Amino acid sequence: MAEQTLAFQAEVTKLLHIVANSLYSRKEVFLRELISNASDACDRLRYEAITSPALAAGDSEFRVVLRPDEKARTLTIWDNGIGMTRQDLIDNLGTIARSGSAAFAEQLAARKSDGAEKTDDVSLIGQFGVGFYSAFIVSDKVEVISRRAGQADAWRWTSDGQGTFTIVEAERNGRGTTIVLHVRKDQEEFLQPGTLRRVVKAHSDHIGLPVTLAAKDGEAKDEEVLNAASALWTRPRKEVTEEQYREFYQHVAHAFDDPWMTIHAKAEGRLEYTTLLFVPTMRPADLFHSERKAPVRLYVRRVFVTDDAKALLPSYLRFLRGVVDTEDIALNVSREMLQHDPVLARIGSALVTRVLSELEKKAEKEPEEYAKFWATFGPVVKEGLYEDSTKRDQLLKLARFHSVAPEARKGEGAGDKLVSLAEYVGRLKDKQDSIYFITGDDAAALKSSPQIEGFLARGYEVLLLSDPVDEFWVTAVGPYEGKKFVSASQGAADLGAAPPSAEKKEAADSGELAVLIALLKQNLGEAVQDVRASERLTDSAVCLVAGANDLPRHLARMLRAQGQIQATPAGVLEINPSHALIRGLAKLSMNAGARGRLDDLGRLLLDQARIREGELPNDIAAFARRMAEVMTEAVSAKA
Ligand code: ADP
Ligand code: MG
């Protein structure tokens, strides 16, 4: 086939333009990316060779070889991995398929529409890495010669990174990929063995196969091994530095932050496995994509098997990254069969227990660090509260909440810090047998909700639940240490005696109040489910609550926003008999001539309660008209 010239996908061209023009200071990362790809290619072949040994026959010592040539000003990165077909070369090196570069491109698009400066693009490369394309950080031309294992034909992909690449049939001795970098004049340091030794040691030491430096005249036996060449997780913990853990994390996770927590453990006994797991510091971009792969890589006796072992870890721990390597699974079963291997589930369950107890320790020892973790991944962990009843108690222990404490009790430790349920229960009032909470979009706004005034006035602390997932677990989870979770914004608040602060306040006459309530019910009709005097309110005049058996109002708003229900159910309007406005309305309701006026004011009252919850008035035009009338009256009274 004659040489063909093809265009890069538009995103790639953009990305390459930034790569080539960046003054990126850590140029050496290109080598980490290319070695990482070579190592992945060897991993994939090693696995395929289990069922098709012929693929690796004759050359089963997987390795990556670096060969600098000062005269030709080239650096060659050679591997005997799985290789690429012609189509693979086009697909893999001509488009952005991989998660890291795709995330990079997305970020880029987002920043571009912000009109941000180009200097930001450079720092983005540092955050995301650009995989194969990082070859162009140091090269003005790149050649990739590849031969797929089991195939006779080889292909050469060539590009100067300027919008197009060419593909032509080529020769290659055996399977694998050879990448020839035509190093730019000002990057010649990457042709020096000393530089290569240092860079490999710094960024690729954890790679499980040898990365070697070819001797000048190219005899294989003279190759110098530059890295430790043993899988990092197989090494004793004491011998691994923090820096090496970090490099390894970034390699397996395709991540560019630091690990927040590292769990490196070896289990012996009934189950034998080694695990090296990381909790990231930053939220991975695809954390909430349901179709994402399970992120922990499964190895069996050092052979990479799959990064899609869904049975291994539950979805509420999907932020974990790393590897699990076990002795206990047969290697010659298909990946599909493997998903159902009971050993996998048992290892998974042991891992969950391990991870949760490490988190618990961290929470005890470093509560501030833990609070950062919880802010990042708490919404995911809380999914476990309704998905995995066996881990419920452990998960409840790990959960942290914003809470609002009564003024008088701020000194007792309640306040702006996140609280645990143990702390909440440790501060219960006498005879309090419930854990009170309120749900909404935003913890700060929830703090001043009218619905919780009466709880605070009576000395009860209230948890502020503002993650969407809260609506689902809190009703499903059952009691904590015998204390039920009770919504402060649903049903009748059974709060008993009036709070001490209310005693001084004058309340509406009960006869007048009864008339007012009857009239409000009549006027508002279907718009409310009921109208009643409130035990909840101390300062505000009105609020809306959900009926005892209704959908919680915040949940109803969420479902409506997603189009799952048409309208939120009518709420119960609670009024505060001690509020001057309600007292005045109660008086007004005795005046038969003012009934029309009362109708308008009642509707304003309801609209106000709706707005307070972030909803719109039922009839915006009517609301505006009534509001204008009331304001007109107010200014005429003053004038
Ligand atoms: P990623 O490694 O995250 O998939 P890269 O941009 O680094 O993304 O590489 C893109 C793709 O090109 C890889 O997924 C792989 O399919 C292919 N590839 C790159 N280098 C090699 C190689 N040395 N051998 C085989 N395939 C490779
Ligand atoms: Mg890569």
Read off the pLDDT of residues 470-522 as tens digits, 9 standing for 90 and up: 999 999 999 999 999 999 999 887 777 777 766 667 888 999 999 999 999 99
User: Alpha-carbon distance 297 to 312, whole Å?
Assistant: 10
Please indicate whether residue 129, judged by its CB atom, sits closer than 6 Å to ligand 1: no
- Evaluate the CA torsion angle 36, 40, 42, 43 in order and state its sign: positive
User: Domain segments of the chain: what residues?
Assistant: 4-226, 234-374, 400-488, 506-639
Contacts 24+ apart (CB under 8 A), 153-161: 153/86, 155/84, 155/85, 155/86, 155/89, 157/89, 157/93, 159/8, 161/16, 161/19, 161/20, 161/133, 161/136
Pairing of strands 64-69, 211-213: parallel
In the structure, what pLDDT confidence band is assigned to residue 114 with cuts at 50, 70 and 90? low
Please state the pTM of the whole predicted model: 0.81
Residue 38 CA, closest ligand 1 atom number: 23
Task: Work out the number of other CB atoms within 10 angstroms of the CB of residue 326.
Answer: 20
Domain 506-639, CATH: 1.20.120.790
User: Alpha-carbon distance 307 to 297, whole Å?
Assistant: 4
Say if residues 506 and 577 touch (Cβ distance below 8 Å). Answer: no
Strand, helix or coil at 311? coil
Please indicate whether residue 38, judged by its CB atom, sits closer than 6 Å to ligand 1: yes
Give the fold, CATH level 3, of 234-374: Ribosomal Protein S5; domain 2 (3.30.230)
What class has domain 4-226?
Answer: alpha beta
Q: For residue range 451-479, what is the model confidence (pLDDT) as tens digits? A: 999 999 999 999 999 999 999 999 999 99
What's CA 554's distance to the chain center, in Å?
A: 23
Domain 400-488, CATH: 3.40.50.11260
pLDDT value of position 97: 63
Of 274, 275, 294, nearest to 284 by C-alpha is 294
Strand, helix or coil at 408? helix
Ligand 1, residues 40, 45, 93: which to mutate, most atoms within 8 A of Cβ? 40
Q: How far is the CA of 101 from the centre of ligand 2 (A)?
A: 9
Q: How far is the CA of 221 from the centre of ligand 2 (A)?
A: 28
User: Alpha-carbon distance 244 to 233, whole Å?
Assistant: 11
Task: Please list, in sequence order, all residues whose beta carbon lies within 8 angstroms of the beta carbon of residue 86, skipping any fewer than 6 positions away.
Answer: 153, 155, 167
Q: Vertex 605, ends 601 and 608: CA angle to 5°? A: 135
Q: How far is the CA of 129 from the centre of ligand 2 (A)?
A: 9
Q: For residue range 349-379, what is the model confidence (pLDDT) as tens digits? A: 999 999 999 999 999 999 999 999 999 999 9
Average pLDDT in the chain: 88
Ligand found nearest the CA of 98: 1
**Helix, strand, coil percentages, rounded to 5, for the chain:** 45, 20, 35
Closest-CA residue, ligand 1 atom 7, reads: 131
User: Alpha-carbon distance 612 to 606, whole Å?
Assistant: 10
In the structure, what pLDDT confidence band is assigned to residue 154 with cuts at 50, 70 and 90? very high
Q: Residue holding tokens 């308008």?
A: 600
Q: How far is the CA of 99 from the centre of ligand 2 (A)?
A: 10
Please indicate whether residue 84, judged by its CB atom, sits closer than 6 Å to ligand 1: yes
Beta strands in 554-598 (DSSP E): 572-575
Name residue 74's beta-bridge partners. Answer: 69, 182
Of 195, 273, 275, nearest to 31 by C-alpha is 195
In the structure, what pLDDT confidence band is assigned to residue 98 with cuts at 50, 70 and 90? low
At 598, give phi and psi (nearest 5°).
Answer: -65, -35
User: Alpha-carbon distance 483 to 432, whole Å?
Assistant: 9
Task: Please list, in sequence order, all residues whose beta carbon lies within 8 angstroms of the beta carbon of residue 96, skipping any fewer than 6 positions away.
Answer: 9, 11, 12, 15, 102, 105
Please indicate whether residue 300, judged by its CB atom, sits closer than 6 Å to ligand 1: no
Ligand 1, residues 29, 31, 64, 92: which to mutate, most atoms within 8 A of Cβ? 92
pLDDT at 111 over 70: no
Please indicate whether residue 33, judged by its CB atom, sits closer than 6 Å to ligand 1: yes
Please indicate whether residue 439, judged by its CB atom, sits closer than 6 Å to ligand 1: no
Closest-CA residue, ligand 1 atom 12, reads: 92
pLDDT at 543 over 80: yes
Token output for 320: 């974990």
pLDDT at 116 over 50: no
- How does DSSP classify residue 501? G
Burial (0-12, 13-18, 19+ Cβ within 10 Å), 290: exposed
Please indicate whether residue 148, judged by its CB atom, sits closer than 6 Å to ligand 1: no
User: Alpha-carbon distance 639 to 632, whole Å?
Assistant: 10
